[in-house]
Amino acid sequence: MRTLWVIMLVVLQASAFEYGLKPSKVSEDIYCFFGKPEVMDKHNNGNMVNSCYVDMGSSWLVIDTGPTYLYAKEASQHMRSIKEMPVKYVINTHIHDDHWLGNGYYASLGAKIVGPSLFTAEIDLKAETRMQKRILKEAFLDTVPTLPQAMVEEEMVLHLAKGDVFLYLAQERAHTESDLFVTIPSMDVLFGGDLIFNDRIPSLRDGDINGWLSVLDMLKAMKSKIVIGGHGDKSDTHAFDLTYDYLFELRQEVKAAIDDGIGIDEAVETIKMPAYAETHLYLMMHRQNIEVAYRMLEWDDE
């Protein structure tokens, strides 16, 4: 009998898990769940990423599904209380698991999931995800890694009631090898995924600093009124500033070190960029970013 009560208690605790999500209204048609400027752990349980809903007239469009099934379910319940309509399309901006592990919930609703090319090639569904390793088991409950059903090779257009949705694949390696960005001209909005961080130091580990800056130059030239990234709650043209300025200065500093004959170990120790020292995750990300940038840039003139 005691064993039965323990099992029931575990089940009740798991089923009761909630993130405490609150949607932020960005515009008349756009709502976002803005994550915390942190890395995934057992305190935030992956609530450190942005997931956005767009009212497309007769259906919701979802940009990135978040870290777990339960996160996606909770977000969806909030949005249905705002406007009761189905999710027709889901867009995954890239392969990092904090952005797409909620896919399984939306697949269960019959939504069509779209992602960047290379998604299937890059994801091993048999491997334990970073998220699964780092968050509470009860938060990960019911999460089954679910891949997109359609891939964007260059661009794709979704024709929806309130306007066309344009999906573009970045043609250079930037934050990752395969980054999507999304525009809805009728709403003057750009969704940049993790091409845009504005509340924490961006991560260069899977990217290319030259390609990333090149893609950001292109995105800035689009002059969208509303700009929403994958991390951070800024939603105007200043949403670009932190990522662009940080990467631009990092490239300058690392190039100068290489030109001066400074080795990689010394560069990691001496390139401080104090203007960003108080930015979230500086201590965790900055040294790694220097090392990654150095290994790329040292071959620029070869």
In the prediction, which pLDDT does 15 show?
53
- Condensed to tens digits (0 to 9), the pLDDT of residues 95-137 reads 999 999 999 999 999 999 999 998 988 888 888 999 999 999 9
* Residue 32 pLDDT > 90: yes
- The ranges assigned to domains in the chain are 21-237
In the prediction, which pLDDT does 10 show?
46
In the prediction, which pLDDT does 122 show?
83
CB 209 within 8 A of CB 219: no
* Residue 12 pLDDT > 60: no
Chain-wide mean pLDDT for the chain?
Answer: 94
For domain 21-237, give the fold.
Metallo-beta-lactamase; Chain A (3.60.15)
Going through the chain in order, the beta strands assigned E by DSSP cover: 24-25, 30-33, 51-55, 60-63, 87-91, 112-116, 150-152, 155-160, 163-169, 180-184, 189-197, 226-231
Q: Find, among 5, 19, 4, the residue nearest to 141 by Cα.
A: 19
CB 90 within 8 A of CB 111: yes
* Residue 204 pLDDT > 70: yes
In the prediction, which pLDDT does 292 show?
98
Share of the chain above pLDDT 90, in %: 90
